[in-house]
Chain A
Amino acid sequence: MRADGLRGHLDGLVLAVLEHEPLHGYGVIQALATRSDGTLDVPAGTVYPALYRLESAGLVTSSWDATSGRRRRLYRLTRTGRRSLARERSDWRELAHAVDSVLGERAT
């Protein structure tokens, strides 16, 4: 899926990949590619501002991690972030259902 099709969903996608484990910026990008089997074509460069935005909004928090020899920021979901993710999921299901009922093939 191309980047313009993802507009408006990137925040939810980033929250989703951080749901079960904290990740570095590049880890988030790899997780997006892995979990979508390479279908989501998110330019890596747009993920860093999204992480900053989510942190400013209090949905993720970051701490320094130096376990791999280089100091990098490790992002994890906050409680508010989990609530926001639940809302994103519910909104997405509603939208997907609505689009599918219009765009999906009907058995006639």
Chain B
Amino acid sequence: MTADPVASLARSLRGPRRVKRRMLREASEGLTDAVEAHRAVGLDDDAARARAVAEFGPVPAVRPAFQDELDRALARRAATVGLCLFPLVTLFWNVAWECSPYPTWPAPSAQFVVAFAASLPALAASLAAAVALAATYRLRPRGTWQLLYRRAHTATVLGTAAFCVAVSTLPATNPKALLWPPTTLTTLTAAVLALLAVTACRSSARRAGC
């Protein structure tokens, strides 16, 4: 019985599930097509399967091609999250601080400085994420382009951390301010972003064997 290369790939690949499932399904369909084609020219089941698996290539040789696409999909996801950071910080700033029915404005100078300082790395992360996102659409990213999209996770994590710091200045000014629905929503979004960024980073670190 010939081993199933698609099952081996499914066990060893790491990355976004939807992309992994899509590529492996294609590979599995192709393998079935290959077996049928070899049967049609007279090979028995075992020989047809063995030839199809040989044509597929050894798992260690084809795995990097699949993993590269998963890495790219992961970078695209992290960069998209990062790209949302600055508009969210701006929204948070305007809505939560200036429109809240709970008195938070004018903000005490310490909180103002912290929130303003934290929005700068969030802006930088958003810009880096936009460029990283563009890099993932290049067919063969090399040099700086490759470096950019391989660092998309780092930029997003740093940006998200900065955003969380900016958000935390609000309850530090007036804990009740978090109870206003628009502020609650912004804060929850920040938490989800932070979670996504950390998950993407953990997945990336696991892949790198860290």
Residues of A within 8 A of B (CB): 3, 8, 11, 24-26, 29-30, 43-54, 56-57, 59, 70, 72-73, 84
Contact A49 B30 (CB under 8 A): no
Report the separation of the CA atoms of residues A43 and B69 in the bound assembly, to the nearest whole angstrom: 17
Please count how many residues in chain B sit with their CB below 8 Å of the partner chain's CB atoms.
31
Contact A29 B61 (CB under 8 A): no
Partner of A46, one of B22, B62, B137: B62
Contact B65 A73 (CB under 8 A): no
Contact B57 A48 (CB under 8 A): no
A25, A26, A30, A53 pick with most chain B CB within 10 angstroms: A26
Report the separation of the CA atoms of residues A74 and B84 in the bound assembly, to the nearest whole angstrom: 34
Contact B26 A45 (CB under 8 A): no
Contact A43 B19 (CB under 8 A): no
Q: A53-B72, A53-B139 are in contact. List 10 more A-B contacts (CB 8 A).
A: A3-B61, A8-B140, A25-B26, A26-B37, A45-B59, A48-B23, A49-B23, A51-B26, A52-B26, A57-B138
Sample of 23 A–B contacts (CB below 8 Å): A11-B139, A11-B140, A24-B29, A25-B29, A25-B33, A26-B29, A29-B30, A43-B55, A44-B31, A44-B55, A44-B56, A45-B9, A45-B56, A45-B57, A49-B23, A52-B23, A52-B26, A52-B69, A53-B69, A53-B139, A54-B139, A56-B72, A57-B139
Contact B23 A72 (CB under 8 A): no
The answer to whether residues A48 and B26 also contact, given A11-B139, A43-B56 and a CB cut-off of 8 A, is yes
B136 nearest in chain A by CB position = A56
A29 nearest in chain B by CB position = B30
Contact A45 B34 (CB under 8 A): no
Report the separation of the CA atoms of residues A29 and B37 in the bound assembly, to the nearest whole angstrom: 12
Contact B69 A46 (CB under 8 A): no
The answer to whether residues A72 and B29 also contact, given A26-B34, A53-B69, A56-B137 and a CB cut-off of 8 A, is yes
Contact A52 B22 (CB under 8 A): yes
B68 nearest in chain A by CB position = A49
Contact A45 B65 (CB under 8 A): yes
Report the separation of the CA atoms of residues A24 and B61 in the bound assembly, to the nearest whole angstrom: 22
The answer to whether residues A48 and B30 also contact, given A3-B61, A53-B72 and a CB cut-off of 8 A, is yes
Report the separation of the CA atoms of residues A59 and B137 in the bound assembly, to the nearest whole angstrom: 11
The interface residues of chain B lying within 8 Å CB-to-CB of A30 are 37
Report the separation of the CA atoms of residues A84 and B139 in the bound assembly, to the nearest whole angstrom: 10
The interface residues of chain B lying within 8 Å CB-to-CB of A52 are 19, 22-23, 26, 69
